[in-house]
Amino acid sequence: MATRSSRATAPLSAYVLHRYDWSESSLILDMFTREQGRLAVAAKGAKRPYSQLRSVLLPFQRINLVLGRAPAGEASSEVQTLRSAEWAGGAAMLTGAHLFSGFYLNELLMKLLARHDPHAALFDAYAQTLPSLVSTEDAAVEAALRAFELRLLKEIGLLPELSQVTLTQQPVQAERRYTLLAEAGVAAPRAGEADVPGNTLIMLQAALEHGSLAALQQACEPVLPALKTQLRGLLHYHLGGAPLRTRQVMMELQNLAPPSSSTPRIGHESPR
């Protein structure tokens, strides 16, 4: 009879992006792993009251999971079976308004990342971004979201070189202003378009190449409104115009809240 070690793969570092009911007692999980990218995982019995997995398979919590080895010749897109999962430590779970920022990141990952396509640097950026979302400073949270959007777009090859004009391949001039267009990349702004200084684009590119998320967040801070508008257009284009559910829910909550309400505004429809 096969031993447990022969039926299971090596442990993976992972986050739960989304959970789907599979049966009365089980779940299908959309997982973001450092080693294998996005995976579909079946967690049998995870919904049972006495299951130890109930307190582990939560969003925004880093976990170590072991999966069953797929049978020889089976397509890699098949759902894999969860063998075990353990909390790997880290920051406290997001709560309240901060949950929407976290779910926004999760939705971007689910819609823009292909399955079984590892992005270790992006996984690390996600892990580093989550603690920033609990800041009481709106600007800090927005800078964290914009920095992650930039890192995500760069990692999947959808972000143009920010330090050069895309069509001419000429270096961006620090003293001039530019816009970021989905169809044309870095370009001179047209009338009415949001723009940013060239020196900001140069700093953003340098931070992306260096890999420092803190430096990237810092470079985002002086141009948050314009950068939000430009990245919104870029993401909308690459999502095929499909609306983000997190954004829709937040807009619905804002419409329901009275003017004096302190309902937080998260994601692209707000200061976030």
Strand partners, 137: none
Question: What's the pTM?
Answer: 0.86
Tokens at 25, concatenated: 């007692």
Enter the DSSP assignment of 158.
-
CA distance 78 to 41: 9
Average pLDDT of 42-68? 93
Please tell me the predicted confidence (pLDDT) of residue 192. 86
Name the one residue in this structure whose structure tokens are 């909550």: 253
Name the one residue in this structure whose structure tokens are 């009251």: 49
Residue 246 neighbours by CB under 8 Å, 6+ apart: 100, 103, 104, 107, 266, 267
Q: Are 41 and 20 in contact (CB under 8 A)?
A: no
CA distance 154 to 158: 6
Q: Are 88 and 33 in contact (CB under 8 A)?
A: no
Parallel, antiparallel, or unpaired for β 80-87 and 63-67? Answer: antiparallel
Average pLDDT of 192-213? 95
Average pLDDT of 132-142? 93
Confidence check: pLDDT of 104 > 80:
yes
Nearest to 185 by CA among 216, 224, 220, 159: 159
Average pLDDT of 93-115? 91
Helix axis angle, 213-220 to 120-129, nearest 10°: 60
The letter for the amino acid at 177 is R
pLDDT averaged over every residue in the chain: 86
Burial of 241 (0-12, 13-18, 19+ CB in 10 A): exposed
pLDDT per position as a tens digit, 29-43? 999 999 999 999 999
Average pLDDT of 94-111? 91
pLDDT per position as a tens digit, 240-261? 877 777 665 655 444 554 544 4
